[in-house]
Structure 1
């Protein structure tokens, strides 16, 4: 079976992530890309000459019988409405994170998919970052003992507001850094340490003209007692460690962002040699109570595994790679963070 796939949107989500990953998985074919931008349409024809270019979602729905799967990679506020249209046309759906702008919308989409009998999953690709895979395996082996604190940061230096939709949109339309990076960082924390009973947030706006938060912090107290502290910022001249995890027997530290996104932007494809591996050969580190340390080799990142697991779900009835209920629960935590967050505007 060939899974005929249409990708809606050819911004970062469609161009950097979904289109290359769909082409790299042998059971999928990139059959169409939806974009109304002439420049992006030209880029599709250059990079993916076998894909049809459709100017709008109406044209996609009219040709629904030609496709098996729709990937929604458009702006955040369109995720739920477009997913509902695709589900209504009988198509399986992947939604780029966040699954919707509100948990209520997310539940509507999940209920519609169940009622229609179609497959629905959400692209939480950071579950397959190399540093996260490394940390998860280390925790499963119990090498840090009992974990007390999980610190996770996704930070960069962009002191001026860009022109991306997510930079210009207000928070109630899915704009701001909490809706951009929070779905990843919170999802990773919940995947590792389970349900959350308390949420604290500091949602700050630092850049002139920014309509929403761009320098935010979220603290989660998990039911099991672990405290997760999550930083996300567009105004960090020097980033914190990507992960710092404190346990009773050691501290795990890793530096720098997973390289898959930058590799894709540079023109590498997911099956190319070295894709998902840091060029400098860096390792993570475990610091031990006796003052010593040891290197921990980083696993290669593998966002492609999402589509491999999705292929198993679509062709063999296996579980979807990301159950939609997981990112809906993350949205509920984001909504709690927004409702309770302290704010500063510079």
Structure 2
């Protein structure tokens, strides 16, 4: 159940038309590059408080969002003044997602959680049940549903230009021959690190959105780089209930990058290279509120649609890529909180993706396909 702002009974913005006040937990990569700028760019939302105990990150946040921004040392400070807030965004390390989301919901606050929402599908469904019991919004930040190439592919499929899709190939590949360190690359299971749960959360979510439930999963997962502790080169094969086969690649060890998407159907195929430009723009300090147009890529990066020949030798026709639109996620969250729209990404949808990730982990460990 999606609660409106008035239903939640919290926050200064409820029922008055005032901006909904957001508390952001975590100001590392996810918090500073993605969440804070997108929240600040969303009409009807205001970034009220950032939780980080790092003085440099506190100064960084105030420098970008003004001296009126409040900073807190711990999330407990948010629960103590829950009546002053309307939404909690959790952008802290993966292992903290479940306990922080649980605490926020019990404090009566709607929640957005960065992916993966939890380490297991069971935990995600427990969080969903708690949110439903409390009548509160619980949404998962799957921003890559608003990537430019994914939006374009969804439109292409809706128009039926490929015919019946037989195979979907999706790659999120990088060339990082030396580990960077940190919890994302930790081998400690409690950290929920590794590419399977990091980039894998994106490619699996996209595959399920496009082609529906999975019935079988096979995976290969390796730790390739010297000094690496967690998986850094993983392949996932998903068979969907409708017969489509998804081949999903996530890797930090790819010396030659493949196409982001290769989609093969009964009438035509679509091949698209390159990543959506929004992350690079956000990392460079560009902001949706001040840069227009946003999320647009050059014509040279457009994918191609056709049959019978490689796009690299001129096969097919160029297909204009729709603009990427990460701001649409938080606009949808604001609408859901005010009762004028739906939750853009539910915890139950995220749990379905976690079913696939857990099956992939078992498959890679045991060398067998796993039936869901």
- Is the shorter-chain TM-score for this pair beyond 0.5, marking a shared fold? yes
The residue number in structure 2 matching 1:149 is 167
Q: Distance in 1 between matches of 2:261 and 2:131?
A: 35
Q: Distance in 1 between matches of 2:137 and 2:26?
A: 20
The residue number in structure 2 matching 1:200 is 218
Q: Distance in 1 between matches of 2:126 and 2:346?
A: 15
Contact 2:296 2:324 in 1 (8 A): yes
Shift of 1:173: 2.8
Q: Distance in 1 between matches of 2:160 and 2:299?
A: 28
Q: Distance in 2 between matches of 1:283 and 1:333?
A: 30
Matched, 1:51 2:74: no
Contact 2:302 2:319 in 1 (8 A): yes
Contact 1:263 1:275 in 2 (8 A): no
In the superposition, the TM-score normalised over structure 1's length comes to 0.96
Q: Deviations over 1:60-86 (max 9, x none)?
A: 111211110000000111101100000
Q: Give the total of aligned pairs.
A: 344
Superposition map of 1:84-99 within 5 A:
84-99=102-117
Q: Deviations over 1:11-42 (max 9, x none)?
A: 11111111011111110000011001122111
Gaps of 5+ in 1: none
- Alignment counterpart, residue 19 of structure 1, candidates 33, 36, 57: 36
- Alignment counterpart, residue 318 of structure 1, candidates 334, 341, 361: 341
Q: Distance in 2 between matches of 1:136 and 1:128?
A: 10
Q: State the Cα RMSD in Å.
A: 1.5
Q: Distance in 2 between matches of 1:317 and 1:298?
A: 29
- Alignment counterpart, residue 57 of structure 2, candidates 36, 40, 47: 40
Moved more, 64-73 or 279-288: 279-288
Shift of 1:320: 0.4
Superposition map of 1:246-265 within 5 A:
246-265=264-283
Shift of 1:119: 0.8
Q: Distance in 2 between matches of 1:274 and 1:154?
A: 25
The residue number in structure 1 matching 2:229 is 211
Corresponding residue SS for 1:316: coil
Q: Distance in 1 between matches of 2:298 and 2:322?
A: 13
Contact 1:202 1:341 in 2 (8 A): yes
Contact 2:299 2:320 in 1 (8 A): no
Superposition map of 1:57-68 within 5 A:
57-68=75-86
User: 1:294–1:35: structure 2 CA closer, same or farther, 3 Å change rule?
Assistant: same
Gaps of 5+ in 2: 1-16, 368-372
Contact 2:52 2:58 in 1 (8 A): yes
Matched, 1:189 2:212: no
Matched, 1:129 2:152: no
The residue number in structure 2 matching 1:162 is 180
Matched, 1:276 2:276: no
Contact 1:171 1:179 in 2 (8 A): no
Corresponding residue SS for 1:310: helix
Q: Distance in 2 between matches of 1:263 and 1:11?
A: 17
Q: Distance in 2 between matches of 1:136 and 1:75?
A: 31
Q: Distance in 2 between matches of 1:171 and 1:294?
A: 46
Q: Deviations over 1:298-320 (max 9, x none)?
A: 01100111111111111124210
The residue number in structure 2 matching 1:329 is 352
In the superposition, the TM-score normalised over structure 2's length comes to 0.89
Moved more, 177-186 or 267-276: 267-276
The residue number in structure 2 matching 1:305 is 328
Q: Distance in 1 between matches of 2:330 and 2:349?
A: 18
Q: Distance in 2 between matches of 1:182 and 1:223?
A: 20
Shift of 1:227: 0.5
Corresponding residue SS for 2:157: helix
Contact 2:175 2:253 in 1 (8 A): yes
The residue number in structure 1 matching 2:12 is none
- Alignment counterpart, residue 229 of structure 1, candidates 230, 236, 247: 247
Runs of 4+ in 1 over 4 A off after TM superposition: none
The residue number in structure 2 matching 1:115 is 133
